Amino acid sequence: MGEEKREATLRYLRSKFAQYYQTRPLHLPPRFGRREFGFILFEGGFVLRHLGFPKEATLYRYIRSKSPAHVYHSAAYYETPGAPTMAEKGWMGADLIFDLDADHIPGWQKMGYPGMLEAVKGQVIRLIDDFLVGDLGFREDDLRIAFSGARGYHIHIRDPRVFTLESHERREIVDYITGTGLDLQLVGRREPFEERTFGGQTRTLKRFRIPMASDPGWRGRTTRGISQWLETLSELPEEQAIEALRQLEGVGPKRAQKIYGTLQRLGTDGTRARVETGHLEFFPPGSGASLVAQGVEYAKGATDEPVSSDTKRLIRLMGSLHGKTGFSVVPLTREELDAFDPLTDAVPALYEHEKIRVETPQAIVTDMMGETFNLEPGQNSVPEYLAIFLMCRGMATLASGMAGDATEGPT
């Protein structure tokens, strides 16, 4: 019976995907005839790849005949994209791809799906504004952003200057964004600020000086990261904040207590003003390197390094459906990204609001289309859009008696 339910569920999903591909246009990448395409069908978990489509009509016909669970295309351009081996394809160049998923966000497991999606969007905005457009100087017109259809976002950079970059050169870009290999000595320095004479001996006192927050690149970014870290500390309970301060080199219990008191006295605005002008005299000079490391941790960008450095990577086709959610892979401009809500905007319009019955093995609480759903174990009547999401996620099956409605769509 379990296998029958699974098959009925898959038939239902295939029918909805088939309906979608009959009526919804896809967003084909430029020079799609030079791209390799890959597919995962509902019937199996392996990728059908090494396929090329010289004409748009041929690609559409293939997708509509297969109604695949997942559709991919290569970041690379090839002389012969349909050749059976990579060596025979004739690599010509590739877009630069950034893939940011929720599992790059610290503590994502505890956020819940809506919170996780909001957190990862914030990281994508930082990646674009601070690094790709900000520091690296890419034009927004050369960026194509897409919600992945599940837990994250993809950014395609189609600036001709990146097309022929090799894997190690792409990795250097990722290293810059993530602060990997950053020489902390270039970010901050110890400097003399006072001389004291006692018993005929002159002693030079030093303090750790960090760059101005307005400085370009990682110098200013690290200072802004330190400021964010200290603001976070000021919102923690005193015991937790002091424990965090004690992790810095040269900061013991008494010094941590003193620093915490100074932060409280200065307040958020006063602390930020001190930090962003480079003055950290209330920290011991020996704590400088570990303090800078905290700033780097707060200021760094996030991305999936293997994806960006892979010159032959397959990436999801914009406009296609994600087989593990039923959501669309939605193309976005930078302006559209700010207000984008995947739990509403990525739900295909053809999914009905009329209810169907599904069986859920356990209790589920989830949000979608502006509603919160509390489902008990067993049979539940839910809107079709939620049913498709739960079935794609493996959290529900089509209820007994609904199987007759799960007919195959047109091919």
CATH of the domain at 130: 3.90.920.10
> Has residue 20 been placed in a domain?
no
pLDDT less than 50: residues of the chain: 1, 404, 406-411
Tell whether 193 and 269 lie within a shared domain. yes
> Has residue 232 been placed in a domain?
yes
**Is 348 strand, coil or helix?**
coil
Chain center to CA of 303 = 6
We report the CATH number of the domain holding residue 406 as 3.40.5
Tell whether 333 and 354 lie within a shared domain. no
> Has residue 8 been placed in a domain?
no
Among 95, 99, 215, 341, the one annotated catalytic: 99
Among 135, 142, 159, 304, the one annotated catalytic: 304
Among 104, 21, 12, 126, which Cα is nearest to 70's? 21
Helix (H) or strand (E) holding 392: helix 384-392
Position 206 scores a pLDDT of 65
Two tokens at 308? 């960006």
Tell whether 282 and 361 lie within a shared domain. no
Can you tell me the distance from the alpha carbon of 376 to that of 365, in angstroms, rounded to the nearest whole number? 9
| Residue 304 known to be catalytic | yes
> Has residue 42 been placed in a domain?
yes
| Residue 129 known to be catalytic | no
Give the pLDDT confidence of 81-133 residue by residue, as tens digits.
Answer: 999 999 999 999 999 999 999 887 878 888 889 999 999 999 999 999 999 99
Tell whether 292 and 264 lie within a shared domain. yes
> Has residue 5 been placed in a domain?
no
Tell whether 163 and 143 lie within a shared domain. yes
Position 375 scores a pLDDT of 96
Tell whether 36 and 161 lie within a shared domain. yes
Question: Phi, psi at residue 410, to the nearest 5°?
Answer: -65, 155
Tell whether 373 and 341 lie within a shared domain. no
Position 358 scores a pLDDT of 96
DSSP 135: I
> Has residue 259 been placed in a domain?
yes
Can you tell me the distance from the alpha carbon of 283 to that of 261, in angstroms, rounded to the nearest whole number? 12
Q: Which domain holds residue 329?
A: 25-175+304-345
| Residue 130 known to be catalytic | no
> Has residue 17 been placed in a domain?
no
Position 190 scores a pLDDT of 64
CB 165 within 8 Å of CB 180: no
Domain count, the chain: 3
Tell whether 121 and 192 lie within a shared domain. no
Can you tell me the distance from the alpha carbon of 48 to that of 27, in angstroms, rounded to the nearest whole number? 20
Can you tell me the distance from the alpha carbon of 231 to that of 227, in angstroms, rounded to the nearest whole number? 6
Question: Phi, psi at residue 66, to the nearest 5°?
Answer: -100, -25
